Amino acid sequence: MRPRQARPRLVQAMLDAFSLPDLRRKILITLGIVAIFRFVAHVPLPGVDPTALQELFERNALLGMLDMFSGGAMRRLSVAAMGVYPYITASIIMQLLVPVIPKLQALSQEGEAGRHRINQITHWLTAPLAGLQGYGQLIYFQREGVITATDVMPMATMVLAMVAGTIFCVWLGELITEHGIGNGISIIIFSGIVAGLPEVIGRGFLAKGQMGGLAAYIIIALVTILVIVIFTEAHRRIPVQYAKSIFRGGRMYRQAGSTHIPLRVNTAGMIPLIFAMSLVIFPALIASYFANPNEPGLANAIVALFDPNAPLPVGLFYWGLYFALTIAFAFFYTMVIFEQQNLPGILQRQGGFIPGIRPGKQTATYLNAVIKRITWAGALFLAAVAVMPFVAREITDVQVIQLSSMGMLIVVGVALDTMKQLEAQLAMRRYEGFIK
């Protein structure tokens, strides 16, 4: 066997991971479940006109976000067309309801049992949300001529099939979380986005007449990925000291210990992008039900105004609104999460304190001020990533490639989280990992 130093660190870490039976089993289970999901994503619903479906996606860019969360299954209108998006919606709703409803707040403070109960409620909420979303999507596709069935029973069957597909995808994600590597729901979304990369690369070859713009586009994408990595890992360390009580020789002594609280610059993750995108596309989505391409009117004007592919100066309204809403939701969601964590109360119960800050109200005021300051950096970062596709398109004039800001955040975040979990598994067995 060659010495460890003779191989690159990444290659050696992968070989070490596959040499351990239990870790190899986790990796293979994850890959197997992802393969099952990709198979399900290609099982189509009955009564769908594929030609009309393809034409609809070519002229309606608003379906791109939902297609991303479904892993490309919506573009085929398969049984997994909604992916795990209803579950994500249910999770966000529960996170917002926990601090509002006293019973849910009490459950969240009951430790592991309370979190398990909240997770159960989230799963129950997923089914009706999936049914409503599936019915709405089918009505829209039926109006656009993609679905030919109009009777009640075929429509009900398709809705049930889509709900079953969503529940099955969520179950696959839970299996990955329990028996595999990484967060299962995130990996399901990750696999769908990565599966679409060959199509993006193929579109790049179509832009041979724009080699300069294509090179600039690639550079912008790489710089964006680098910035995402930096801000995903960035955090502010708040020093904390604890006074420990120990018994020695029949006497009690107090011994000081120190640690830190890592406050993340981007606490909200990609949730503000989801909120902002949902609000930005909502007016155009509603107006599209009333728009008639052959007759000018208010509905057509709204659809044109909220079109992400609109040229300047019309496009500035859509992307400017997206930018502002992302910043607003970043602050809103960060403060919601921060209030749920109740760090000042935890520190006080555990006998910890921040040097120079009194426990209790002053600690809460100090931590609130710090999280608001660093959230400005995280919010501006998210807003810049949100409008990156528009900036890249205007600078490079490349139209055949459309990068998704949320897709890039998901791919980088899931890759980093999975690498950290593999790193932890290898470190427990005294192997060198991926990260120095």
Kindly indicate the confidence band of residue 163, based on its pLDDT and cuts at 50, 70 and 90.
Answer: very high
- What's the rounded Cα separation, in Å, for the pair 325 and 424? 37
Q: Confirm if 70 and 82 have CB atoms less than 8 A apart.
A: yes
Q: How far is CA 126 from each of CA 52, 96, 189, rounded to the nearest angstrom?
A: 29, 15, 16
20 sits in the region (left: phi over 0; alpha: psi -120 to 50; else beta) called beta
pLDDT, residue 2, reads 44
- What's the rounded Cα separation, in Å, for the pair 7 and 351? 47
- What's the rounded Cα separation, in Å, for the pair 111 and 114? 5
The answer on pLDDT for 400 being more than 60 is no
- What's the rounded Cα separation, in Å, for the pair 425 and 436? 15
Q: Confirm if 379 and 327 have CB atoms less than 8 A apart.
A: yes
- What's the rounded Cα separation, in Å, for the pair 89 and 170? 12
The answer on pLDDT for 201 being more than 70 is no
Q: Confirm if 16 and 432 have CB atoms less than 8 A apart.
A: yes
Q: Confirm if 25 and 19 have CB atoms less than 8 A apart.
A: no
pLDDT tens per residue, range 206-263:
655 566 667 777 788 788 888 888 888 888 888 888 766 555 555 555 555 677 788 8
Which fold is adopted by the domain 209-402? Preprotein translocase SecY subunit (1.10.3370)
- Using a pLDDT cut of 70, give the percent of the chain over it: 81
The answer on pLDDT for 6 being more than 50 is no
The DSSP symbol for 166 reads: H
Mean of the pLDDT values across residues 202-207?
61
Using a CB cutoff of 8 Å and minimum separation of 24, what contacts does 303-311 make? 306/280, 306/281, 307/61, 308/61, 308/62, 308/389, 308/390, 309/61
- What's the rounded Cα separation, in Å, for the pair 4 and 432? 10
The answer on pLDDT for 378 being more than 80 is yes
CA dihedral sign, ordered 246, 252, 256, 259: positive
* CATH 1.10.3370.10 domain residues, the chain: 1-195, 209-402
Kindly indicate the confidence band of residue 160, based on its pLDDT and cuts at 50, 70 and 90.
Answer: very high
Please indicate whether residue 174 or residue 23 has the higher confidence score (pLDDT): 174
pLDDT, residue 3, reads 45
pLDDT, residue 68, reads 64
- What's the rounded Cα separation, in Å, for the pair 434 and 436? 7
Kindly provide the b/e burial profile for residues 274-298, where b requires at least 16 CB atoms within 10 angstroms of the residue's own CB: bbbbeebbeebbebbeebeeeeeee
Kindly provide the b/e burial profile for residues 100-125, where b requires at least 16 CB atoms within 10 angstroms of the residue's own CB: eeeebeebbeeeeebeeebeeebbeb
Please indicate whether residue 407 or residue 12 has the higher confidence score (pLDDT): 407
- What's the rounded Cα separation, in Å, for the pair 346 and 240? 12
Q: Confirm if 154 and 99 have CB atoms less than 8 A apart.
A: no
Q: pTM for this one?
A: 0.76
DSSP class per residue in 219-230: HHHHHHHHHHHH
Q: How far is CA 167 from each of CA 94, 95, 109, 368, rounded to the nearest angstrom?
A: 18, 20, 28, 38
47 sits in the region (left: phi over 0; alpha: psi -120 to 50; else beta) called left
Kindly provide the b/e burial profile for residues 349-364, where b requires at least 16 CB atoms within 10 angstroms of the residue's own CB: eeebbbeebeeeeebb
- Using a pLDDT cut of 90, give the percent of the chain over it: 6
Which fold is adopted by the domain 1-195? Preprotein translocase SecY subunit (1.10.3370)
The amino acid sitting at 376 is: W
Kindly indicate the confidence band of residue 10, based on its pLDDT and cuts at 50, 70 and 90.
Answer: low
Q: What is the CA radius of gyration of the chain?
A: 25
Distance of alpha carbon 241 from the chain centroid = 34
- What's the rounded Cα separation, in Å, for the pair 200 and 307? 21
Secondary structure (H, E, C), 232-255: HHCEEEEEEEEEEEEEECCEEEEE
Helix (H) or strand (E) holding 353: strand 352-353
pLDDT, residue 206, reads 60
pLDDT, residue 164, reads 92
CA dihedral sign, ordered 47, 52, 56, 57: positive
Looking at every residue in the chain, the average pLDDT score rounds to: 78
pLDDT tens per residue, range 298-346:
777 777 777 777 777 777 888 888 899 999 989 988 888 888 777 887 7
